[in-house]
Structure formats: structure tokens, C-alpha cells
Amino acid sequence: MDRLDRLELFTRIVEGGSFARAARDLHVARSTATNAINLLEQEAGVRLLARTTRQVATTPEGAEFYRRARAILAEVEDTFGTFASGSPTGHLRIDASGLLTRTFLVPHLPAFLERFPGLTISFSQSDRFVDIVRDGVDCALRAGHPQDSSLRMRKLGELPEITCASPAYLARHGTPRDCDDLESHRMIGFLSSRTGEVMPLEFRRDGATVHRRLPAPVSTDNSDTAAALARQGLGLIQAPRYRFASDLASGALVEVLEGTPPEPLPLNAIHAGDRSVSRRLEVFLDWVKEMFSDTDRKSG
């Protein structure tokens, strides 16, 4: 294996957490993979991987080495892809919430991969802040307004938001008719990943944004948990409408304050600002934007 092959092997071990899997994917013997990583560590002059009988993890030096190795391999792919004819090739690492991935991306993914057969995709799914560079992610799909000016952002669409609550909650506290009619109400506290503080409810009324901070008996930084708390009748909740589609259909949750909905959340693709967008990422982002445009037209 040459040096680039060793870098490719190293990144696959890190991402898959397994020597055996990486060796199998690259069609080399396990012993060859072990020897290649030993040589790579000798060349780097540091230990890159901490190995036990059950798992493989990067050392602090290995994590930084992985970040740089991924950048090098991406540049190599992009260099050849720029001059190659036909569709782009390579691997995409996309971070997005699980529900957004399942609701919007997965149903249309077969057609995308048929259109671009040279691409492979891995999804990591979380609500937490992701370090694009450190975590080796090509882009993160996030709703809202990111604050990090070192990152590049591309708006892909908008997610309409609603306010809702369970029938049991509304039976106890009443159904609010206006955002000023919330004195006796409670909300599900959603903790900001940036500040750690509970975010207020937001309403659009007469062209202006109105914020209301209600007592929150329970708070969380996980959107799935927040939805479950709302179903249990613990307070009002705001989130993109798609999150509550099945709950609204089943009657588990009821939309309220329809006349003063929150501002729609922009859906953005966020990626590192110190590098150009690869062809494979460009076609993926174009596809997502086109998909949301079609969704808006069908719902309009």
C-alpha cells in the first residue's frame, strides 16, 4: 500500500471503528491492514490509534491526523473529479436530525443514488452542535440561524413551525386564543445548544415577532424527548410542522394559536468556510434544495 492507500485505510478504520471491516472494504488482508497502520504511525512519529480487544479509537494526535487525512483525500477526489467526465464520485458525510433525515431525505434517496451512482453517503444524526472540521463532516443540515461566522451557509428551504399541545393539557389549562392569553399556561422547555438557556415561545403578530417565556416544568435539549413530554400533557410546544404530522393526524397533539404561528425556520446547509464545495457536495445540496422547492409547491 502506498501512502494515500494508508491514509484511506486509516480514515476507514476511524469511521468504522474496526480494522477487520476496513480491511474487508478495501479488499486487503487483516494482517496487511495492521502492518500498514503500524507503518503509518512510524511515519507520523506518534501513536494514532488506541486499540483494545473490543474497539478502536483515535488518540488526541490521531484525531487531528484524521482531520487532515480526510481533507487530503477529499482534495484528491475533487481534483480528479473536476477533470473526469460523467457524474461525481466519492463519499459524503452528512449530519442532520434523525427525523428530518427520515422524513425528507430517505424517501427520495433511491432516486438520488440512481442519478449519481458513484456517490456513497453516511448520515450522522443529532440535535447537538457539530464541529464540521473536527468531526469530519462534509456538511450539517440545521434549522435556524447559526452564529459561527467561520462557517459557510447555504439556505435550502424553510420549515413552517406550529404551536401545539395535548388534548389532556388543553382540558386542564384551556385553549389559548391569542399569544397574550397565556398567563395560566406552561411550556416544554427546550434548551439552546449555544446558551444552555430555555428558549422562549415565538409568535408572529401584525408583522412583528412576539416572545413569551412561560414556566417550564420540564426542560430538555433533545427534540424527540420534547415531543414526548408534550404528548404527556406537560406544556405547549413549538417545532416544525413535519415533526408533529403523525401526532396531529392521530389527535395526540392539537394545533393552537394558528393565527400567530412562529416564524418559519430556515433550513441551512453548513460547511467549512476554508475550502471550496466539492462537486459531490454541490450536487447533493442542489438535490436537497430542489426537493424542498417541490415540497413547497405541493403544499402551497
Q: Are residues 166 and 258 in the same domain?
A: yes
Q: What is the pLDDT of residue 291?
A: 85
Same structural domain, 23 and 53: yes
Nearest Cα residue to 44 out of 28, 30, 63, 31: 63
CA distance 176 to 185: 8
Which of the listed residues 26, 59, 83 is the one where a domain comes to its end? 83
What confidence tier does 284 reach under pLDDT thresholds 50, 70, 90? very high
Q: How confident is the model at residue 162 (pLDDT cuts 50, 70, 90)?
A: very high
Same domain, 272 and 144: yes
**pLDDT score for 161:** 92
Q: Which of 300, 283, 262, 297 is nearest to 121 (CA)?
A: 283
The mean pLDDT of the chain is: 85
**For residues 271-293, average pLDDT:** 80
147 shares a domain with 290: yes
Q: Please give the pLDDT value at position 300.
A: 46
Give yes or no for residue 248 having a pLDDT over 70: yes
Both 165 and 251 in a single domain?
Answer: yes
User: Looking at the structure, do residues 72 and 109 belong to the same domain, yes or no?
Assistant: no
**pLDDT confidence of residue 207:** 83
- Out of 83, 106, 132, pick the residue that ends a domain: 83
Strands 90-95 and 219-220, sheet pairing: unpaired
Same domain, 236 and 90: no
pLDDT band at 262 (very low <50, low <70, confident <90, very high): very high
CATH number at residue 74: 1.10.10.10
185 and 295 in contact (C-beta within 8 Å)?
no
Question: What domain range is 197 assigned to?
Answer: 161-263
**Would you state the pLDDT for residue 14?**
87
Of 194, 144, 59, which is closest to residue 37 (Cα–Cα)?
59
CA 22 – CA 19 distance, rounded (Å)? 5
More confidently predicted of 191 and 295: 191
Percent of the chain predicted with pLDDT > 70: 87
Task: Using the 3D structure, point to which of 56, 83, 110 is the last residue of a domain.
Answer: 83
Same domain, 72 and 194: no
| Candidate ranges 8-12, 86-90, 162-166, 266-270; pick with highest mean pLDDT | 162-166
Identity at 111, one-letter amino acid code: A
If asked whether residues 199 and 274 sit together in one domain, one would say: no
Q: How far apart are CA 33 and CA 76, in angstroms?
A: 21
Question: For the whole model, what pTM was predicted?
Answer: 0.65
pLDDT band at 25 (very low <50, low <70, confident <90, very high): confident
pLDDT of residue 145: 67
Question: Which CATH number characterizes residue 119's domain?
Answer: 3.40.190.10
299: pLDDT strictly greater than 60: no
Are 195 and 56 members of one domain? Answer: no
Number of domains, the chain: 3
Q: Are 22 and 37 within one domain?
A: yes
